[in-house]
Amino acid sequence: MQTLPRSYYDDAPMAPNRAAAIEYLRRPGDVYRAGDVYYITSREGVRFAQTHPEIFSSAKAFDGLSAMIQLIPIAVDPPEHAQYRKVLDPFFGPRRMRELEDGLRADVRAHIDAFAPTGHCEAMTDLARKFPTQAILTLLGLPHADLPQFLDWVDGIFHSDTASQANGEPNTRQMECSLALFGYLQDKIAHKRTHPDDALISSVLAITGDEAWTDEQMLGMCFVLVLGGLDTVTGAIGFCLLRLAEDPVLRHALIADPSRIPLFIEEVLRLDGPAQMVPRMTTEDVEVAGTLIPAGMQVALVLGTANREGLRANDFDVPDLGERISHLAFGGGIHRCLGAHLARTELRLMLEEFHARIPDYTIAGTPTLSWPAASVSLQTLPLEFPPS
């Protein structure tokens, strides 16, 4: 097994069409080492790691952040993990999404209505960042009036001009925005204890007895939902619109038959999933694809390469709405993404409402990409269309 420079992953030729980057990332093999990190690129290897959390620890992978706050449930291993998911899963299931759908549809429609008459939009700023942020506010029971402030914090955390210092530490703006968000969430949690409603924060706070959650646990949960549920959905919205702007035949096929939208969404998540990799740490020596990974090593599960393995006879690098192909964009095993149903609902509603007002649109410039970063996302996506 060859050992590559630590920068190998960051140097991937990532672009809006990332096929070349995926080939670059899997070129060294099913398992390889770059710096101090072992990368698992094969579907079989990634699935093995996902289904063996006792060997590939998610909690230990987040030890640095967890020293400040426990990120619930992503930075929790069994058996405690199951207790948290038992509480949280019902709030993110299909039934809860049906209850939220009318409100979410009204929210995304209002954002689209704001720019539809102008004939142009910057899709990332005008829609892709606003809608998922507003959805998280709805889910947590936080005031929609706080959306502008939330957007500023999220922009500072995810989209600072300098993503990190040379040593990988957050830059000043990231730290300022993270601390401000912490303080805001602490205040809202305290307020919900005396002014409950029917949203997620109040519902979890209502648990009593030995299973009652502390303020620290609540803060860790809220912070994970904000960070995990925003940039990823933002990225997916951008890639959905980019592909459809580039392919009017596919776009009009979805408009003619909206029942195919869910299949399109799954293909975008498979091909353009914003989370290209997720971190783990080994708790013991383990062999994957003939390579021994020692205990205590950082491991990256490269979802982007695993999702593009040949799962069918035809080209697996292009969207195919003929059948639904299982993908790993939401992870797998016990740490499968808590918000998968919410993300799918947001993406479906966005496409339905966008096409209801704007069936024809083209790219009006050159989209730009955020890379390297925790998740891959378009920074800009300028679109133009007939004013409606």
Query: Which band of pLDDT confidence, cut at 50, 70 and 90, is reported for residue 164?
Result: very low
DSSP strand pairing (291-293 vs 298-302): unpaired
Is the pLDDT score of 37 beyond 80? Answer: yes
* Dist CA 104 CA 101 (whole Å): 5
Number of domains in the chain: 1
Q: What mean pLDDT do residues 126-148 have?
A: 95
Give yes or no for a contact between 203 and 212, defined as CB atoms under 8 angstroms apart.
Answer: no
Query: Which band of pLDDT confidence, cut at 50, 70 and 90, is reported for residue 122?
Result: very high
What's the Cα-to-Cα distance from 182 to each of 154, 195, 208, 223, 335, rounded to whole Å? 12, 20, 24, 8, 24
Residue 171 Cα to chain centre, angstroms: 22
* Dist CA 348 CA 101 (whole Å): 10
Give the pLDDT confidence score for residue 169 in this predicted structure.
Answer: 60
Domain of residue 251 covers 3-384
* Dist CA 249 CA 367 (whole Å): 21
Write out pLDDT tens, residues 332-378: 999 999 999 999 999 999 999 999 999 999 999 999 988 776 678 89
Q: Give me the CATH number covering residue 195.
A: 1.10.630.10
CA-wise closest residue to 377 among 157, 158, 126, 136: 158
Write out pLDDT tens, residues 220-246: 999 889 888 888 999 999 999 999 999
Give the pLDDT confidence score for residue 313 in this predicted structure.
Answer: 47
Tally of CB atoms within 10 A around 294: 10
Q: Where are the beta strands (DSSP E) in the chain?
A: 3-4, 31-34, 37-40, 56-57, 120-122, 277-282, 286-288, 291-293, 298-302, 362-363, 368-370, 377-380, 382-384
Instruction: Provide the residue type at 257 as one letter.
Output: D
What's the Cα-to-Cα distance from 308 to each of 20, 329, 330, rounded to whole Å? 12, 11, 14
Write out pLDDT tens, residues 166-220: 344 668 888 899 899 999 999 999 999 999 999 999 999 999 999 999 999 999 9
Residues 6+ apart with CB under 8 A from 217: 70, 72
* Dist CA 260 CA 262 (whole Å): 6
Question: How many residues belong to the chain?
Answer: 388
Q: What mean pLDDT do residues 14-42 have?
A: 91
Which pair of structure tokens corresponds to residue 276? 């290209």
Is the pLDDT score of 158 beyond 80? Answer: no
What's the mean pLDDT when you consider all of the chain? Answer: 90
